[in-house]
Amino acid sequence: MNIMKKLIINGGRTLKGEVTVSGAKNSTVALIPASILADSPVTLEGVPDIQDVHSLLEILNEMNVKTDFDGNTLTIDPREMVSIPMPSGKIQSLRASYYFMGALLAKFGEGVVGLPGGCFLGPRPIDQHLKGFRLLGADVDNEMGAMYLKTRDSGLVGSRIYLDVVSIGATINIMLAAVRAQGRTVIENAAREPEIIDVATLLNKMGAKIRGAGTDMIRIEGVDQLTGCQHSIIPDRIEAGTYLAIAAAAGEDVLVNNVIVEHIDSLIAKLDEIGIDLDIGEDSIRVKAPSKPLQPVTIKTLPYPGFATDLQQPITPLLLLAKGESVITDTIYPKRVKHIPELERMGANIRVESDIILIEGGHPLKGAEVEASDLRAGACLINAGLIAEGQTEITGVDKILRGYSHIVEKLNDLGADVYMQEEEDWAV
């Protein structure tokens, strides 16, 4: 017997009030493995209370790393850490566990890591990660679904690494391995996302020598030792974007706090184009009631600073409110379209043609039973449920809880009617 969770949304409420964005999921899941490189405790502030964090802490505890997670502060003490093969079950449920590859290589010169899981968004091979490790002088073997990593006697040696495709994961993973390598490493065609700057900032506080994070060329001088420190995680730009999209679709005066505005410039430009009235503060954005009809737009996702692939799903319900045809092209994950049939069930006039999403807005949505296929599809369906007439039931809730901290409480504080229902599922 399983306990099945459902998210029940009674739509049609107008949202008002304030919501505060948590620390960045995509930073946190890299900062936690990065912390094991220190030889004394690391304290992270602003850690989101999400399933991915708890999964990582379980992995750390199995490696004899002491952790203390209190409120939004996490202390990691790696002084008694041991290198053991990582349990594949945990790994499967969590894509970011692959950051342990770079961290274990740098710390112990070896590691065994199960292949990563997470949300299925089409092919996301880790070949660029492995290419980087090999160029740093590690042997990498894939046996029975686990990666065996080992450095040669000389240890890791700095190298020039050109990434064939821009990859956030590979950029961070190579960075983690290279901080302890001998000599200089240069990562070319590196990803430029804010989360990479965040990880580099932590490592530099620990004593690493990293320059150029946030540009397409990162230079790393290897060091012998890293020490513990304190670090505040940047706010989650995808969570900020999700609440802005929700406030634009279902709100009339919503203040989104703890935002680094520059991180979501591409989204703000689109909201502006749609006709959303925004009041932009220093670290907050107020979404006001729309004063004119919403306009259809064309969105194309691109690597940072372009429009984030993680925001194409949360913004789609807003485009359903604009009269006329909007077009979304996801150049990062073209197969990220599993939310479309679910929106159709709710009455949306929306279709996919050769991986391009075509949205005919202006058709009211009705509540329905829908399933979240991945984390951001879940955010899309929540947004759709809030603007739909009647009740929406969302299954696949665990995927949503992987990345949004206290989302039910945050929405109810804004005046939504959302609750979690647990049922016993006897189906095998």
| Local structure of 135: helix, strand or coil | helix
- Nearest one of 365, 238, 256 to 301, comparing CA atoms: 238
Residue type for 399, please?
A: K
Residue 28's pLDDT is what? 97
DSSP 153-180: TT--B--EEE-SS--HHHHHHHHHHHTT
- Which helix (H) or strand (E) covers residue 349, if one does? strand 349-353
Residue 154's pLDDT is what? 87
Residue 121's pLDDT is what? 56
Which candidate in 32, 119, 320, 340 is catalytic? 119
Q: What are phi and psi of 351, to 5 degrees?
A: -150, 165
Enumerate domains of the chain plus CATH numbers.
2-22+235-425 (3.65.10.10), 25-232 (3.65.10.10)
DSSP 244-279: HHHHHHHEEEEEEES--GGGGHHHHHHHHHHT--EE
Q: What are phi and psi of 397, to 5 degrees?
A: -60, -35
Could you confirm whether 119 is annotated as catalytic? yes
Residue 117's pLDDT is what? 59
Give the bridge partners for 134, in sequence order: none
- Which helix (H) or strand (E) covers residue 201, if one does? helix 194-206
| DSSP tag of 325 | E
pLDDT per residue, tens digit, the chain (428 aa), is 678 899 999 999 999 999 999 999 999 999 999 999 999 999 999 999 999 999 999 999 989 999 999 999 999 999 999 988 776 666 566 666 889 999 999 999 999 887 765 666 555 578 899 999 999 999 999 887 778 999 988 899 999 999 999 999 999 999 999 999 999 999 999 999 999 999 999 999 999 999 999 999 999 999 999 999 999 999 999 999 999 999 999 999 999 999 999 999 999 999 999 999 999 999 999 999 989 999 999 999 999 999 999 999 999 999 999 999 999 999 999 999 999 999 999 999 999 999 999 999 999 999 999 999 999 999 999 999 999 999 999 999 999 999 999 999 999 999 999 999 998 876 65
Rounded distance, CA 306 to CA 303, Å?
A: 5
Residue 172's pLDDT is what? 98
Residue 421 burial class via C-beta count within 10 angstroms: exposed 0-12, middle 13-18, buried 19 and up:
exposed
| Local structure of 2: helix, strand or coil | strand
Residue 70's pLDDT is what? 97
Quote the Cα angle for 92-113-156, to 5°: 145
Taking the CA atoms of residue 391, residue 395, residue 400 and residue 401 in that order, the dihedral angle to the nearest 10 degrees is 100
